[in-house]
Amino acid sequence: MSATTAAALAGAEAAWRAARRARRDRTLLGLALLLACLLVAAWVSEVRPATLAAGLPRVGEYFGKILPTLRWPVLFAGSDTEGSLAAWFYRLDSWSWLLFETANMAALATLMGAAAALLLAFPAARNLGAGMLPRQLARRGLEAMRTVPEIVFALILVWAFGVGPLAGILAIALHTAGTLGKLFAEAIENAGTGGFEAARAAGGSWAQACRFAVLPQVAPNLLSYALLRFEINLRAASVIGFVGGGGIGQELYTVIAQNYYEEISAIVVLILLCVAAIDLLSERLRHRLIGAPR
């Protein structure tokens, strides 16, 4: 090996080591800044290790209170026998109806929100040439709808429409439209525009090109987002009930306020089972519609 080649190799190795050292220093600096930001955030939010250490056992104590006192010898006895499943779910008929009402709220809110999101997603997408003004109006409107939490919408709408499911449905639908609108617009932006341009060149209007060239491409993704949002909205509908939105959430708020501990756990278990069932049903429906193998 000549002296020139050896010097070049040594210089390249030195440059590589310097670059690796600089990258390591930047990584360490970024981690130090992240740690400092986390410490400042914890200080501002009054997150103290002593407070956490004192509060965590109380959380465990509360969960211990809401667990039912089931006994194996009488587990499948009637509702008048303490320690049985029937006694734990002694109000299953009324809770099931409230849960059905909550699921209806979530389904209707998802349908309304998804329809509004679909209408706003096409002008909000950057690659379809809807124009600066329609795009800005659609994007800012979607941002406004998803920025305000559902419970804030519910508080406003309960004042306007009164206590009941209508306020909860409208509140969830507004937030759903804002969230799905952003996801729909991003899915549309990731789609190819060849078919859209061909439809426009063939004389189709902007709306026709969106309907027949873009929508078939992105429909599986849009359906997947909508089904996921339906599952999320079921939980949201349960929370909306805390402020008078109706459904199982209102009953859950009542039993929590009155410290009916075993009823709390029974309602929570029913909500979990309902969410799991909707998740399985949504998965099968999505696979069937997109033609995926089982």
Bigger pLDDT: 203 or 182?
182
pLDDT digits (tens, 9 = 90+) for 116-157: 999 999 999 888 877 889 899 999 999 999 998 888 888 888
Is the model's pLDDT at 86 over the cut of 70?
yes
pLDDT at 33 over 90: yes
Q: Which residues contact 171 (CB under 8 A, 6 or more apart)?
A: 109, 150, 151, 153, 154, 156, 157, 240, 245
- The rounded Cα 242 to chain-centroid distance in angstroms is 19
Q: List the single range of 60-74, 202-216, 260-274 with lowest mean pLDDT.
A: 60-74
* pLDDT confidence of residue 155: 85
Q: What's residue 293's pLDDT?
A: 52
Q: What whole-number distance in Å separates Cα of residue 8 and Cα of residue 117?
A: 60
**What pLDDT was estimated at residue 62?**
79
103 vs 60 pLDDT, higher one: 103
- Average pLDDT on 245-273 reads 85
Angle at 210 between CA 205 and CA 216, to 5 degrees: 140
pLDDT of the residue at 289: 67
CA distance 165 to 144: 23
Dump pLDDT digits (tens) for 165-201.
Answer: 888 889 999 999 999 999 999 999 888 778 888 888 8
Q: At 2, is the pLDDT very low, low, confident or very high (cuts 50, 70, 90)? A: low
Contact 245, 168 (CB under 8 A): yes
Most confident of 14-23, 166-175, 249-258: 166-175
pLDDT of residue 122: 92
Average pLDDT over residues 160-166: 80
69-83, 108-122, 211-225: least confident range: 69-83
This prediction's pTM: 0.76
Alpha carbons within 13 angstroms on the beta-carbon side of residue 34 total 6
Q: What is the pLDDT of residue 292?
A: 55
The 8 Å CB, 24+ separation contacts for 273-277 are: 274/99, 274/102, 274/103, 274/234, 275/231, 275/234, 275/235
Question: 122 is written with which tokens?
Answer: 């096409």
Which of 164, 183, 171, 154 is closest to 109 using CA atoms? 171
How long, in residues, is the chain? 294
H helices present in 67-209, as ranges: 85-88, 92-124, 132-147, 150-161, 165-189, 194-201, 206-209
Identify whether the C-beta of residue 241 lies closer than 8 Å to the C-beta of residue 168.
yes
